Each structure stands twice: as structure tokens, then as C-alpha cells.
Amino acid sequence: MIGFAQNVADTGVMLNTTLILLLLIPSVIGVNFDVCLEDVRSGKFGSVGGTDNRGRPISNITTATAITYDLCLRACGAGSEPFRWSIFSQQFSSWLLPWIALVSQLPFGANDKFDNLISVLLAVGSPALAAYSLALTVLNGRWIARRFAPYRYPNVRHAVQILSSLQQSPLTVTTSGSLLASLVVLPDNDEWWRELVTWLNYTHTWSISAVTSVAWVVIAYVFTVVDSFTGDLSLLVHSHGQGIGSLWLWLLPIVVGWLQISPKCDSVRLLQAIERANKIAYVAAPSGKPVLASSVSRQHAISLPLSTGDPLRCDEQCTAPIYNYSRFLCWVRAVEDVCSVFSAASDRAHWHQPVDPKFEWEVTEKSLKLHAGNRTGTLTQVDAYCLPRGEPEATPRNHWPQDIWSRFFIACAFTLLLQWGTTGAAILVAWFTPTWGKESR
């Protein structure tokens, strides 16, 4: 044990020494370009190769403010400028620190802290993925509102709110055993819809810290742009940081977009809300009197299997919003399943067809509200009521739901526009900034 501890201690000393050497070696072997230029001006490397800041040759080497590339390699070598901590710390705090602070405002809520860390690294390392998930969330919210707009049936508005709020979760819809049909048709489940909307009504939106972080980034970038017009343009990249500011500018619309959408991504609260609601869910029975769904089966019409043990679906199980790309198809299919039930029920209610054909259509005082007697029946009658008119049995599921391709291409176009509108601008700033010296031109 003593030998093992000694080996561990020696390994730690070696690692620390290696890190110190990695920091000190660039400072020792780096090239001091100021000293190099003075040596060139003194004539140590001849009188040929001196230029002005625009690259035009000059006859007097002592007045050179720049040198040719061949003379630079011969006089200064191919090394880099030595690392200077004072310059690095100033540039880091001015250019990069505001953007890193803004990353903390991204919405999280994964199953554990490690998944949250991975989602941060994904957002920072792949802006396109973060923008794509955000665009899909916005487009899906608009699509589901239009998809349910033609239907006139109780709880349609609640269904839109619930399904839209569950975009950040592995939503699973079960149609077997009359679970979904009963959830939509039976008046006993009206409380299920109302309660679930209430329990999902929490927000991750604007706060004082979020406003402060966004304001800090905006002000820092505005100062950067102003300095680029008022300062020395020859020092644009190395002093003002406009290239770095443009490189990280994609993060601002991503953070503002998620704060505005306020996604429901807290896995614990989502699971608690679904479990509490499913305790009061009813299902139709063969006798005609609804019973609690939990007394019939362990399955529910709407559930969130946050842990399936399938490694191929780990991204889908994670509730961080950046993983919405992995839930796109399965979420749309779940919405289509719910939508088809509401569509059939709304169509039959439009033609005044009660669930139990033996009873006449009952009219309430409020014409927009269906009488509870029109929505009550046996398990077989409820299932038949939720089938499309003229179809004796359920049609096969469409593997490519409605408008899915248009949302996909629009999200991709937005992603590419945001990615290359910011990263491309940073590349252009660095590419077209001439390598002029520090003296006046």
C-alpha cells in the first residue's frame, strides 16, 4: 500500500511538472517579434526585405515597419509569439467570459448532472444542433396549434397545451385497451386534462440573472463594434475581439429563444405531473361504468418512460431541450395518434352521434358544451366512436406524418443561416484583416 501511494504521489508530481512546462516552454522558446524587427532594422540580416505596412519595398531598412515572409523566416524563425498571461487574462475576461456566463442560462433538466454537462458541451461544441432543436420546437408548437384548430370537442385546447409542453420528454401514447379513446371521450377524464395542464404550468423563463447575462453580452459586443470603428483598425483582431464576438454571437438568439419559449424540461416535475394525473384517469368498461385505469392495467394513455435501458434511445430519454432533434419523429407520431382520436370524436359530435347509439342526442343550455350523456358508453362503443367515419377498423399508422418535411427543411435552413451568419462573419473578419504592424501607417 505504501508503494502504491508513493507511485500515485510521483505520478501527481509528474503531471504537475508537465503542466508547468507546457505553460513555460512557449514563453521561453517563443519569438519576440519586437526584438526581431529591431535586429532587422539594425542591418544584422542585410538591407533587403524591409517594407512598409502595405508591403511595398523600401530602400532604407532602418525605417522598415514590416518585412517580407522570407526575411521573417530567416531572421525570426517559424515559431509563435511567446504566451503572455496578462494579455490572455485581459482578452479572456473581455471577449470570452461574457459568453461563457451566458451558457448558464440555457435550459437544462436532465436526469442527472452529467447529462446536463453533456448538453452544455453539445450546445457549445455544436451550435447547429442547438439551433436545430430550437427551430423544431418553435415550428412544432405552431404546427400542433394548426393541427387541432378544426376540431370542436372538449379538452382540445388542453390537449394542445399538454402535447406542446411535452416536447422535451419521451412522450409515449398507448391506444390499446381503449386507454386513449377513453381519455378523450369520457367526461370523467375532464379533470385529468385540467389537472395536468395546471401541474405543467411552470416556467423556466426570464429572471434577473438571465436579463443581466444577456445585457452583459449585448453591451460587451456593442463596445467591441464601437471600438472597431473608433480604434486602430490594424489591431482589430488582437485588441477589440470583433472576430471572437461574432464567433459566439449565435449563442444570444439561442438563449433568448429558449427563455422566450420556456420549455418544460425538468424531468422530475414532468414525471410527477404525469403520475399524479394518471391516478385520476378513467377507462371505459364492458359494463358501461368507467373505472380507474390504474385498476385495469399498468399502462396509461400518456406516459413518460424516462428510463428504458435502451442505449440507442438515451438521447430521446434525456429531457434537455437540445435533444429535441432525437424526439422529433416519435413526438409527431404521438401527436398524430391523439389527433386522430379527437378528429373522429369531433366529427361524430358534429353530426350529433352519441357514444351509445341507444340514446338520443342530449342538448345542453350551452351549445358549445357537450352533454355528459353523449360521451358515455361501454368499452366497445368508445373504441368504435373514435374510429374515422366509414372505416370499420383503425388504419395503419403513417410513418411520415403531415408537414414533417417542411418543418425539417425550415429548421435546417434556420440552422445554417445562424451558424454561418455568425461563424462565417468571424472568419471573414480574421481573413480580411491585414497583418499590419503596430506603428502608424
SS (H, E, C) the chain: CHHHHHHHHHHHHHHHHHHHHHHHHHHHHCCCHHHHHHHHHCCCCCCCCEECCCCCECCCHHHCCEECHHHHHHHCCCCCCCCCHHHHHHHHHHHHHHHHHHHCCCCCCCCCHHHHHHHHHHHHHCHHHHHHHHHHHHHHHHHHHHHHCCCCCCCHHHHHHHHHHHHHCCCEECCHHHHHHHHHHCHHHHHHHHHHHHHCCCCCCCCHHHHHHHHHHHHHHHHHHHHHHHCCHHHHHHHHCHHHHHHCCCHHHHHHHHHHHCCCCCHHHHHHHHHHHHCCCEECCCCCCCEEHHHCCCCCCEECCCCCCCHHHHHHHCCCHHHHHHHHHHHHHHHHHHHHHHHHHHHHHHCCCCCCCCCCCCCCCCCCCCCHHHHCCCHHHHHHHCCCCCCCCCCCCCCCCCCHHHHHHHHHHHHHHHHHHHHHHHHHHHHHCCCCCCCCC
**Widest Cα–Cα separation across the chain:** 110
- Does residue 310 share a domain with residue 275? yes
φ, ψ of residue 67 in degrees (nearest 5): -135, 160
- Does residue 362 share a domain with residue 306? yes
CA dihedral of residues 84, 86, 90, 95 (deg, nearest 10): 20
- Does residue 279 share a domain with residue 170? yes
- Does residue 403 share a domain with residue 390? yes
Q: What are the residues whose beta carbons fall under 8 Å from the beta carbon of 156, sequence distance 6 or more? A: 148, 342, 346
Inter-residue contact 253 to 102 (CB < 8 Å)? no
Specify the pLDDT at position 366: 57
| Nearest alpha-carbon partner for 120 in 284, 311, 251 | 251
- Does residue 318 share a domain with residue 195? yes
Q: Does 319 fall in a domain?
A: yes
Give CA 244 to chain center in angstroms: 22
- Does residue 222 share a domain with residue 281? no
Inter-residue contact 197 to 163 (CB < 8 Å)? no
Inter-residue contact 188 to 290 (CB < 8 Å)? yes
| Nearest alpha-carbon partner for 430 in 241, 243, 244 | 243
Positive or negative: CA dihedral 182, 401, 329, 198: negative
Range of the domain at 224: 89-108+205-260
Q: Does 192 fall in a domain?
A: yes
Q: Does 424 fall in a domain?
A: no
Q: Does 430 fall in a domain?
A: no
- Does residue 121 share a domain with residue 67? no
Specify the pLDDT at position 151: 92
Q: Report the interhelical angle of 251-261 vs 208-230 (nearest 10°).
A: 150
Q: Does 426 fall in a domain?
A: no
Specify the pLDDT at position 412: 93
What whole-number distance in Å separates Cα of residue 263 and Cα of residue 138?
Answer: 10
Among candidate residues 221, 245, 260, the one where a domain is terminated: 260
In the block, residue with C-alpha cell 447547429:
128
Q: Does 418 fall in a domain?
A: no
Specify the pLDDT at position 242: 66
Q: What are the residues whose beta carbons fall under 8 Å from the beta carbon of 305, sequence distance 6 or more? A: 170, 172, 317
What whole-number distance in Å separates Cα of residue 396 and Cα of residue 386?
Answer: 15
- Does residue 368 share a domain with residue 274? yes
φ, ψ of residue 128 in degrees (nearest 5): -65, -40
Specify the pLDDT at position 267: 83
What whole-number distance in Å separates Cα of residue 265 and Cα of residue 260?
Answer: 14
- Does residue 231 share a domain with residue 156? no
- Does residue 373 share a domain with residue 268? yes
CB burial of 128-139 (b: ≥16 within 10 Å; e: otherwise) equals ebbbbbbbbbbb
- One-letter amino acid at 64 equals A
In the block, residue with C-alpha cell 491585414:
434
| Nearest alpha-carbon partner for 418 in 213, 241, 249, 224 | 249
What whole-number distance in Å separates Cα of residue 344 and Cα of residue 337?
Answer: 11
Chunked mean pLDDT (size 10), the chain, 441 residues: 38 43 47 78 82 81 82 79 70 71 78 78 87 93 92 92 91 90 93 92 75 80 72 49 74 87 85 92 88 89 79 79 89 92 92 88 69 88 83 58 86 91 81 57 39
- Does residue 200 share a domain with residue 142? yes
In the block, residue with C-alpha cell 434556420:
414
Specify the pLDDT at position 3: 42
- Does residue 183 share a domain with residue 124? yes
Q: What are the residues whose beta carbons fall under 8 Å from the beta carbon of 235, sequence distance 6 or more? A: 438
Q: Does 322 fall in a domain?
A: yes
Specify the pLDDT at position 338: 94
Task: Specify the number of domains making up the chain.
Answer: 3
What whole-number distance in Å separates Cα of residue 225 and Cα of residue 242?
Answer: 7
Q: Does 180 fall in a domain?
A: yes
